[in-house]
Amino acid sequence: MLRRLLSLFRGRPSADQVIPYPDGKRIYREFHSLRKEQMDPDALKVINRLSRHGYRSYLVGGCVRDMVLGKKPKDFDVVTQATPSQIRRIFANSRTIGRRFKIVHVVFRGGKIVEVSTFRGLPGHRLEGKRKNQDLLMKKDNVFGTPKEDAARRDFTINALYFDPRNESIIDYVGGFDDIQARNLRVIGDPEVSFEEDPVRMFRAAKFAALLNFNLEAESLKGIRKKKDEMLKASSARMLEEYYKIFRTGKTFEIFRSLAETGLLSVLFPFLGKVDGEEFRVSPAGRRLDIADKILTEREDLTTVIYLALLLAELVPDIFHGGTKTNIAEYVKNKISAECTRLNIPGKERDRLTQIFVSQPRFQQSERGRGNRPDVFRSKIFFYEAFIIFKIHALSRGDDDAIQQAMFWEFGPKIHPPSDSTLITMFPRRHRDRFGRPDRNDRPRDRDRGRDRSRPRTARAARAGTAPASPGA
C-alpha cells in the first residue's frame, strides 16, 4: 500500500532519472567521421521508407559503435517507433521472429536481411527498486517505448548510440560516445539489476572487453563477480550460439581469458577449474585455444567442432597418450556425455566429437601394416578435424615425438574441412567440391583473365603488330 501511495506522488517512472542526457546529446557530423555513404544502402532504404510513413527510425547498436571505432560492421540494425505489425504492413518482403522480443527481418535480394526492432520501454523495477525476492529475469520484453527508454534499457553505453542518416548525427542518451573515446565498457544503470534481467549480459561484457580491448568499468566488474551464478539461468541454446560467435572471432583465447578474469569461466565450464586470467593463459586449455587462434591467422581453416573439442579435451586426457587400451568409444562417451547435454550440443556434433577423440591413438601409428592403412584413415570425413586436434594438442604440450607424427600425417595432398556450415576462416575462401578441388562455378571462366587485353590475341597479329580482324571485316 505504501509503495502504491508513493508512486502516486512520484508520478509515472521516467527514463530521465537514470540517463545522463534525457534530451539526447546530438553529436553532429563536424565532430565524427560517420557518413551515409559508409552505411548499408538497404538499411538506409528501410529507414527512408519508415520515415515516409511517419515513423522515426535510426541505425542502432553495434554498427554505430564499430563505425565510431573505425571498424567495418558485420550488419546494420534499424530501430523504429513502428510496431512489428506496422512494419510488416509496410514491407511485404518481411517476417516476424522472436518470442522474448519480437523483431522483423526485412529480406532483400540474395537472402540478405536487415533487422528492424521497435523502441522498447524501460522496466518498472529499474526506477522503483527491486522488491525482496523479486525475479528480474526478463522472459518477455514486448513493451514498447520511446527512444530514450530504449537506450536506457540496453546493455552497455557503447551499444546504445543512434545514427540519424537525415543529418548524419549521432544521438547519445547514455554517454556511450565518450565511453568509446575513453575505451571504457560500462553497463547502463545498476549492473546487478541489469545482470539479473539478462545474465548473458555478463558474458557479453567479458567478450566485448577482450574483443574491443576496452577496460571493464569497476562497478560492472564488481557486479559480474557478485552475480556470476546467475549465468546458470541463461538458455543453453542461446549460450551455444554465443560460443559459436566467439569461435569465429579469431580471438577465442583472449575472450576465454577475460571470462576467467571475471570469474565466469568456472561457472560456464566448471571442468576447466577455477583460474584467473593469468592462470588460464598457461593452462592446457588456454594453450590449446591460443595455438588455434594463431593457426587461423596462418590461413588454416578450423571449425566450431574443433573449438568444442579443444575445450572438452580436458575431460579425456588419457586418449592422447595411450592411457586407455580397451573400449575407447565407451570411455569417450561416458566422459563427455554430461557436458554435451549441459551445453546443448546437437547429436550430430556429439557424434563427430566422439569420432575425433576415439581416433586420436590412431595418429601414433604411421607405418603400413595389417589393418593399418593411412590412406584409408585420411579419407574419413572426420579426419581433418581429428588431425587438427592431434596437432594442436602436440604443440601445446611441446611433445616432439607427437609433433613428428603430425608432420607425417600432414605430408601429402592438402586436406580440407568436411563442411562449410561449421567452417571458421579469417580469409575469403573459394568453394570446393568433395575432393577439395575448386568448385566449377567458382573457377575463372575467361581464359584471358588477368592478361593485358591491349596486346594482340594471336601470334600472327603479334608478328604483324596489329590486332586480329573481327569476323566478316
Q: Which residues are catalytic?
A: 75, 77, 155
Q: Are 94 and 105 in contact (CB under 8 A)?
A: yes
Q: What is the CB-side half-sphere exposure of residue 435 using CA atoms within 13 A?
A: 3
CB atoms near residue 455 (< 10 Å): 10
Q: How many CA atoms lie within 13 A of 349 on its CB side?
A: 20
Task: Name, in order, each residue with C-beta under 8 angstroms of 212's C-beta and a sequence gap of 6 or more.
Answer: 69, 183, 185
Distance of CA 242 to the CA centre of its chain: 6
Q: Per DSSP, which regions of 283-324 are E strands?
A: 302-303
Q: Please report which helix (H) or strand (E) contains residue 94, including its range.
A: strand 94-97
CA 109 to chain centre: 24
**DSSP 3-state assignment of 294?**
helix
For strand 103-107 and strand 94-97, is the pairing parallel, antiparallel, or unpaired? antiparallel
Identify each DSSP E strand in 20-67 by its residue range. Answer: 25-27, 57-60
Query: How many CA atoms lie within 13 Å of 219's alpha carbon, on the beta-carbon side?
Result: 10
Say how far apart CA 269 and CA 291 lie, in whole Å: 20
Nearest to 205 by CA among 157, 253, 170, 171: 157
Q: What is the number of other CB atoms lying within 10 angstroms of the CB of residue 255?
A: 23
Is residue 408 a contact partner of residue 362, using CB atoms and an 8 Å limit?
no
d(Cα 307, Cα 304) in Å, to the nearest integer? Answer: 5
